[in-house]
Structure 1
Amino acid sequence: METVDVSPQYKATSPSAPSPTASHIACLSGARLQIRSLATFELVRNISLPSSHDVRRSQLAWSPPSTSPNGALTPPRRLSTFPPRSHRVLVADDDTTRVYDLRDEKWNAVINNGSGGMGKNINVEFGRDENEVLVWSDFVSRVMVWSLKTGRTVEIRDPKFSGKESRGWGYRRCVEEGVDGRGSVLALLCRSLGVDVLMLLAPGTYAVIKRVELATQDAQGIRWSRDGRWLAVWDAASLGYGLCIYTADGHLYRTISHDPSDELDKWGIEGLGIKTVQWVPGNEWLAVGGWDRRVRILSTKTFSPVVYLDHTTQIQVPSASVYAEQVDARGFRSFVLAQQPATPPKALVEKNDTGLMKQGISIMAFNKDGTICATRDDSTPTTVWIWDLCTLQPRTILILHSPFKALQWHPSYPSRLLIQSTHDSPTLYLYTADPFFSSKSSCTNSAAGPPTSLSLSDSFIKPAGSAPANWTARWLNTEADKKSAMVIGHQQGYVLVWPDGKDQVLRFEGQEGDESDDSLYDILTGRTPVPPLRDSARRRSHDSEEVGEDVIDIQKETVQGLESIGNFEDTFREKRGIVSRGRSVFDESGLDEMF
């Protein structure tokens, strides 16, 4: 990690919600909804909320990304050239949901709970696209699907869960139908007359395609596979090890149960079942974390276990590097290479607690390539196991000073892991795997070094009141050619952090909002459409017909005090007015040969 860039002007005194494509960030500041561009940090929208809106019990959500152009721009020649963006954001309290559009300041939608006969709104999410909103009522009595185009509503009774963290519902993945991968069919887990029911609902109309009575007794969740072919449903752990695999049309394909353990005395938890379920990136594996401190990776061809990842109370793995964190009297953190066998600290057992509930695989995180897996066993909550799925062995094991609560791989960089601890102060750890370690083409024995600790206690003010700070940290979904960034905050403030420094951004004329700042690389490679002209608008009527090309006009100034980049007149000929018939705008730069 080279530098940590935390500028005071990028702090905010309110909770935040970054957009899925990391183009904007929304926050509540008092009774106002503020939306900033993450490219320029300029305030794009500053919306005043009614006095009746309960800011303290509000939630924010962004719409799924789409390729529809910004309304301020002229219609492009090819809509597919526009990068995906989330254009709508909603803010909801217990009674009302308000939706705003970044492309049209005059457009907004208000969804009212009416008399509230079915209870308050406990969770609000966008549906399969930006024109649908899903509202869960209190006591999990119903789900209301609202169409923002027609005002039509569809009521679905008796959902089993409140919908938070996508528990109990999900859209079938269908890449060709949506930029974000959301597809056509909604799977919803319901509970009717004491029976678990799987509802498969059609797109748009949400008519019932199929109603399936599940083979489970107390289903805990559903997960679509990444290719949309399979649907995994697992039973409560108290009922044993039960996992059901259904096809996309609702037919039961296989039921998986726990094999009798020969090590009952050692584990002491025979009878408890599944704790977490995740589909591994790709379409070949399903990972199941159990209360027996074992991760089973199943093949999607037979759904039989092919790999076991066991977590032991004593670490003795010659192929893995074990790093232990040390904290001195001044609070300085460092990592040392621990000798094996190493015994990490166990979870604290409270009075009248058997300790049985504090074990099992509660966190599994896979990188984007599916080559690395990071896990946590609740019996040793300070230990991070990082597995090499090429060699099927632990590669690095981290023993932290305090327990941690989140593991997040970067969505674009397969070798960067963010670890969030449970410290009272915001303390994060950045682990970078060896580049060859995270590559499918080669698996080597080289191991990465210890993680880098990042303390941001000086960058935050403790939240007002007696409530403790609820720290959250997440990666921004930046593209692979952009530098990584993260947002860290609590219930009353947030800050943006660039571990490797910020990208240099150039400003272009003729665009508004987030489209006004794009990297030069995106423009040259065609990933971002060429913006319309201002200075040459008068010549467009006859030059554009003859030449058939767009020419961009670049300002000499740059954003956020970066050094100016000269020689633009030598590269972009529009400043000199030299545009010849059939000649590329990159004629003398050599870029026409590169791209």
Structure 2
Amino acid sequence: MELSRRYEGSHATASPSGCFIAYIINSKLRVSLIYNLEDRPDFPIKIAPKDITALKCCSDGIHIVLLSNNLIEVCSTDRDSRGIRIDNGGRALGSMLAVDFVRPHHLLTCWEFGTAKVWDLKTAKAIDLPDLKTAGTGSPWQERPKPNPTVHTLALLARPAAEDTLTLYFPELCRSTEPIKLPTVDAQAISWSPDGCWLAVLDTPTASPCVHFYTPDGLLYNSYPAETAQGVNDGLSIKAISWSARHVALSRFDGSVDLLNNITFRPVATIEHTLTIAQSTLPEHQRALIWRESISASHERSYSLASRPISLPVSRTKHSIEPAELGVAEVEISADGRYLATRDERMLSTVWFWNIYTTSAHSVVIQHQNVRQIQWHPTLVSLVMLDCGEGIAYLYDLASHDPPRPINVPLPGSAKLSWVHTDFETVPAVLAATKSGFRVLYPEGRDCLVNADQMESRLSAEIYDEGTSEDSLADILSGRKPVTTGQSHTERLAQEVNEAGGYDGSTLDDTFRERRRTAEEEVDPLDDSQIF
């Protein structure tokens, strides 16, 4: 384990490629290579550091954007490229609310009154995208992952004339589809599947229990729950949505999680969190490990296996009726789709880990403090980090039988922890950042991260390779066969829908409850349009 010294600077952000860390220091933008933080060129900026509200790095490793209420500044790490500034002028559209890269040479800007523009950084021209919906709980836009290499797709939620619409915009073509009217009352967020084959639209939980699934060309494919099964909505329904390569998890306000097959969108399992864990009817080898953290008088942290039955600590001190504080607090799926991590709002210090492939509870971790965030490593698929807001990175490898490993990252204030998304499968790195400084944690050491020649070549690369699609041949839950090559997406979908069936599995302590469904005739709305 190796820990860098503390570096002064605000808004520290790791690039998507994991090559460098960008931050603000002495009214300049500084870029430090991840393997050598002392190598740090500076770039002049016009925005005062106190006015910066966000800093984002582009996937190409060249462009970095700074956001303030009245000015957006795009800096380039390539000395031969010039910077770009977007001024808010008289603020007729309100303050600048958000900014995001759409491919390396297109920039999406959003104002607080709903106006959005997509700027071509090469030509300095902009396309207006009016009536963008900014009042939802999630992001009103999302770029399609793993797109066609020549034509990219940006999905946007809008609300003109009191109706929700979906628009698909193509930056390279400078045009978009006609607005698609949505069957939602008040759409809250959109979400692409990891392979870019599905787009989910989440409706408001107070008026509709549905999440709607669309094809990449904007055709409604399915809704969950189905209209025939909705009945009367007597409470809050779906809270958030999380994707994996084979499944989609829908967290609910009642504390449960529905796990769906992401081809048929039929439920294959339901997860429920209980205040007491017994598992008395299960053999010992099938029982989930329960790790409990304890702190000694000398502030040393350790874990021990808890005996059963065990009552989990309730972290809520008072009853709340706020929607954000009800039901499931967090649902995170590992990069390979094998493991699922969940937290319940009633037990914020407890993290549940589930093995999706075997439909069983893998382990439970009870922390001394409430968990602030769960983060799976992007390439080490069984490694997860727990952040409790104490400046301690809890690294837990589910492939081993060892408890979480607490690693202290001392920084004044409450440091925010995040993985540095390197492309090297066996070398993790953690960025710990506060408002005034940051440190980098190398759990396996810095020397094995990457050599200088490799890193510099990655830093100067024009386009960042986003990786290949995860497509496991063994799907235990649905029992689907491997997809053969040479078929169109429509043909593969028809084959998989016909072959997909309910999972005939065992129940673990009433925690996973299998739900079989009879096969229903489904319409295939996909076409093989070359633009997608």
| TM-score after normalising by structure 1 | 0.71
Match for residue 204 of structure 2 among 236, 251, 254? 236
1:314 paired with 2:276, answer: yes
- Displacement of 1:376 in angstroms is 0.8
Does 1:6 pair with 2:3? yes
Deviation of residue 237 (structure 1)? Answer: 1.6
**1:209-253 deviation line (CA, Å, top 9, x unaligned):** 131111110111111122222211111122242111112221212
Structure 1 CA distance for aligned equivalents of residues 199 and 311 of structure 2: 38
**Which of 177, 187, 190 matches 1:222?**
190
> In terms of Rg, which structure is larger?
1
- Against the structure 1 CA distance between its residues 44 and 404, is the aligned structure 2 distance closer, same or farther, given a 3 Å change threshold? same
2:93 aligned residue (108, 113, 118): 118
- The whole-number CA distance in structure 2 between the counterparts of 1:134 and 1:312 is 43
Q: Over aligned residues, Cα RMSD in angstroms?
A: 2.8
Unmatched segments (≥5 aa) in structure 1? 66-85, 436-447, 463-468, 519-595
2:115 corresponds, among 135, 139, 142, to 142
Query: Which residue of 1 is the match for residue 221 of structure 2?
Result: 253
Provide the rounded CA distance (Å) in 1 between the counterparts of 2:31 and 2:325: 41
After TM superposition, the runs of 4+ consecutive aligned structure 1 residues lying more than 6 A away are: 258-262
For residue 207 of structure 1, report the CA deviation from its aligned partner: 2.2
- Report deviation, 1:491: 1.3
Q: Could you say which residue in structure 2 is the equivalent of 1:177?
A: 149
Question: Which residue number in structure 2 is paired with residue 279 of structure 1?
Answer: 243
Q: Which residue of 2 aligns with 1:493?
A: 437
1:449 pairs with 2:407: no
- Corresponding residue for 2:476? none
Residues 1:23 and 2:19 aligned together: yes
CA contact (8 A) 1:113 1:121 kept: yes
Find the partner of 1:104 among 76, 79, 83: 79
Distance 1:231 1:461 in 2: 41
Relative to structure 1, the CA distance from residue 321 to residue 453 in structure 2 (aligned partners, 3 Å threshold; closer, same or farther) is: same
Cα distance in structure 2, aligned partners of 1:223 and 1:57 = 28
SS at match of 1:255: strand
Confirm whether residue 153 of structure 1 aligns to residue 123 of structure 2. Answer: no
**Alignment partner, residue 385 of structure 1:** 352
Where do residues 116-515 of structure 1 align in structure 2 (5 Å cutoff)? 116-127=91-102, 129-139=103-113, 141-161=114-134, 167-177=139-149, 184-257=152-225, 271-280=235-244, 282=245, 284-317=246-279, 318=282, 319-350=287-318, 353-354=320-321, 358-422=325-389, 425-434=390-399, 448-456=401-409, 459-462=410-413, 469=414, 471-504=415-448, 506=451, 514-515=456-457
In structure 2, distance between residues paired with 1:245 and 1:517: 37
Distance 1:123 1:357 in 2: 22
* Equivalent residues of 2:51, 2:69 under 8 A apart: no
CA contact (8 A) 1:347 1:358 kept: no
Q: Distance in 2 between matches of 1:109 and 1:190?
A: 27
- Conserved in 2, the CA contact under 8 Å of 1:30 and 1:55? no
**Structure with higher RCO (Cα < 8 A, 6+ apart):** 2
**What does the per-residue CA deviation read over 1:408-430, in whole Å, with 9 as the maximum and x for residues that have no partner?**
111111111000013xx312211
- On the 8 A contact 2:11/2:54 being kept in 1, the answer is no
Question: d(CA) in 2 for partners of 1:261 and 1:346?
Answer: 32
Residue correspondence of structure 1 range 21-100 to structure 2 within 5 A: 21-50=17-46, 53-65=48-60, 86-100=61-75
Question: Does the aligned pair in 2 maintain the 1:326–1:401 contact within 8 Å?
Answer: yes
Amino acid at match of 2:412: I
Partner SS state of residue 156, structure 2: strand
Give aligned-pair identity as a percent. 26
> 1:515 Cα shift?
3.2
Distance 1:310 1:59 in 2: 37
Structure-2 separation of matches of 1:397 and 1:426: 22
- Residue pair 2:136, 2:187 contacting (<8 A) in 1 also: no
C-alpha contact (below 8 Å) 1:482/1:503 kept by paired residues: no
Tell me the distance in 1 between the aligned counterparts of 2:444 and 2:204. 43
- Partner Cα separation in structure 1 for residue 257 and residue 30 of structure 2: 43
Distance apart, 1:270 and its partner CA: 5.3
- Report the CA distance shift for 1:490/1:235 in structure 2 as closer, same or farther (over 3 A): same
Aligned to 2:466: none
The alignment partner of 1:515 has SS state of helix
Find the aligned partners of 1:33 and 1:143 in 2 and give their Cα distance: 26
After superposing the two structures, state which structure 1 stretch, 376-385 or 228-237, moved more: 228-237
* Counterpart contact for 1:276–1:362, Cα < 8 Å: no
Q: CA deviation at 1:496?
A: 0.3
Structure-2 separation of matches of 1:163 and 1:100? 30
Q: Distance in 1 between matches of 2:193 and 2:452?
A: 41
Instruction: String of CA shifts for 1:564-592, please: whole Å, max 9, x gaps.
Output: xxxxxxxxxxxxxxxxxxxxxxxxxxxxx
Rounded Cα–Cα distance in structure 2 between residues aligned with 1:516 and 1:142: 36
Q: Distance in 2 between matches of 1:273 and 1:48?
A: 49
Is the contact made by 1:430 and 1:452 (CA closer than 8 Å) also made in structure 2?
yes
